[in-house]
Structure 1
Amino acid sequence: MTPGVRKKDPEYSNLMLGYPPQSSKLGGEFSKGAEALIFQTSFLTPSIPAALKFRPPKPYRHPTLDKRLMRQRTLAEARCLVKCRRGGVRCPGVLAVDWEAGVLVVEWVEGVTVRRCLDAWVHTLKRERRERAGCGDGGSDGGHEGGGLEADGAEAEQTSELWDLMRRVGRAVGRLHEIGVVHGDLTTSNLMLRPARRKAERAPNPEPGQESESSEAAAAAAAAATGTTEDATSSTPVPPTTVSTTSAEAAPSPPPPPTQPPPQEPLTSLAGDIVLIDFGLATQTIQDEDRAVDLYVLERAFGSTHPAAEPLFREVLRVYGTSYKGADVVLRRLEEVRGRGRKRSMVG
């Protein structure tokens, strides 16, 4: 059920008829794909951001078939997300599902895509090389203009973060395949880098194995930040100016409106967790062929991001090969998939 929408509301009727959500409780359209629309909204309270995925009906399909496919795909995506959360894979938590209307509400993931990380980081390295070599001289890159990621001196620390990011990607994909889930659309745009500072914030669905902060600690931190104490409730008279200043400081700032996504901060670090998103094509399978196709899709995504992505993806595969038992078999199958270009094997 869509948050805040009841069966008697006109909004529910619109969903059942296949119209996209138009309620003021939802934000504007955040993303549009081939199968679904993504809206930024909130769940239960304005302080819990959420993403609402709506699968509109396809006019070229028979209504009965379209209804069946919408229901099956919505349920399959929700089940894969739940299985991944239980298996220790970082992904959005499921908050609500309405399979009859094709609506799935999941946790909102803050961060940037791995694709943007690669683009921004390589661009930063090139700019710093030009500045050190000739203060913006276009031909001063020399051998680095081809996009090589080899670094020395001041670039060593930055490049080490990039390689560490690739290792985290390899471990995340390996864990996904180990629990028997294939993403189906594993690209750098569906891999999110969530900043490490977000882990200290309270989330509606904590990650597996992570404990949220107690309410007492949160209250103490808020009191320390605002400078308020329990003695503030005493009957001692306070000047009017002090009262207005104190109340203004203690009053919590209103949450940002859900109509606009929070502004993205400049990319200054690659530290954080890898979160997989968009499980619309995910399936539960343990077939090595499907896992190899997943890796092949990711390899093509790396190749289209930057010419220097080939050594990066080799590092992803190296870590993937050591992430779980049987990964070496998948890597051997990947060689066959490369030869036929993602086309599935007709043997077996």
Structure 2
Amino acid sequence: MAGNGSKTGTVTTEGLLQQGAEGKLYVADYNGTRCLVKERFMKKYRHPDLDKQLTRQRIKAEQRAFERCKAANVITPKLLGVDLSERKIYMEYLDRATVAKRYIDEAALEGTKNNPKICQLAEEIGRSVGNLHSHNIIHGDLTTSNMLLDPVSDASESGLPYRLVMIDFGLTFHSFNVEDMGVDLYVLERALLSAHSQVPELFELVLQSYKEHNTHKLTEIISKFDEVRARGRKRTMIG
């Protein structure tokens, strides 16, 4: 596997993990190393040449997202390579990681008010999103289903027994537009309210941490976020 799309080894598929409208995720063995493979489907309704072009662009965009996240000190699975001809992205398989959504749901059973597990994770989420935006990276699909908690043997830099790992960069792009960052925050707020209604203060905890870790155009971003939120509420009221 190489970044230029050439194939340099053999890949043996282990099993399908997830399949959606855009593609599928499965575990594979590549030259003795277990990895996660993301394979994009061919869209039959598109002209083959257009479909090939769009798929290549999106895979390359994801590849750039991994590189930019590394520069922004945002943890992601290691990118092992891409195969443009096969429409595949190969990345590190974190088989011991827990989805952040499940972790929050389980922690909430112990109580939500001032729960240290929830407060600590909110701090980590705010820090990661703040680092993304301070480097002009728009994730595009910020949900706790797109965040993994990867256990570590020794405490991480944050003092926690896990690393927060951001995943799924299919909608990620680079932008200097503060409204794009405001929309990213609004998507996160709606996702948290929907998935974690039992912890209604979760987004405010995340936002507090975000403000501490992103000083890049912060006033303008928060102003745009408030505008986007107001428009979203108005649409909800009107129907």
Per the shorter chain, which TM-score range? 0.7 to 0.9
| Local SS of the residue matching 1:68 | helix
* Counterpart amino acid of residue 117 in structure 1: Y
Change (3 A) 1:331 1:99: same
Structure 1 CA distance for aligned equivalents of residues 26 and 80 of structure 2: 14
Residues in 1 aligned to 2:133 and 2:226: alpha-carbon distance in whole angstroms: 18
AA in 2 matched with 1:90: I
- Say yes or no: does 1:189 pair with 2:139: no
Question: Alignment partner of 2:73: what SS?
Answer: coil
The question of 1:94 aligning with 2:94 is answered no
Matched, 1:275 2:231: no
Q: 2:214 matched to 1:299?
A: no
Write the distance in 2 (CA, Å) between the matches of 1:26 and 1:68. Answer: 26
Offset at residue 199 of structure 1 (A):
7.8
Aligned to 2:237: none
C-alpha displacement at 1:57, in angstroms? 0.1
Question: What corresponds to 1:164 in structure 2?
Answer: 120
Partner of 2:59: 74
Q: In the comparison of the two structures, how many residue pairs are matched?
A: 227
Could you say which residue in structure 1 is the equivalent of 2:44?
Answer: 59
Contact 1:31 1:37 (C-alpha < 8 Å) held by counterparts: yes
The CA RMSD over aligned residues, in Å, is 2.6
Task: Find out whether 1:329 has 2:220 as its counterpart.
Answer: yes
Higher relative contact order (CA 8 A, sep 6+): 1
* Normalised TM-score (structure 2): 0.86
State the alpha-carbon separation in 2 of the partners of residues 97 and 194 from structure 1: 23
Contact 1:187 1:301 in 2 (8 A): yes
Structure 1 length-normalised TM: 0.60
CA contact (8 A) 2:107 2:117 kept: no
1:42 aligns with 29
How far, CA to CA, are the matches of 1:101 and 1:114 in structure 2?
31
> 1:40 is paired with a residue of what secondary structure?
strand
Q: Do the aligned residues in 1 keep the contact of 2:155 with 2:161 (CA within 8 Å)? A: no
Contact map agreement 1:175 1:323 (CA 8 A) in 2: yes
Aligned partners of 1:90 and 1:274 also within 8 Å: yes
Check the 8 A contact 2:149/2:163 in 1, yes or no: yes
More strand by share: 2
Deviation readout 1:157-183 (Å, 9 max, x if unpaired)? xx1222011001100110111112111
Separation of aligned partners in 2, 1:54 and 1:68: 15
Structure number with greater Rg is 1
Partner SS state of residue 280, structure 1: coil
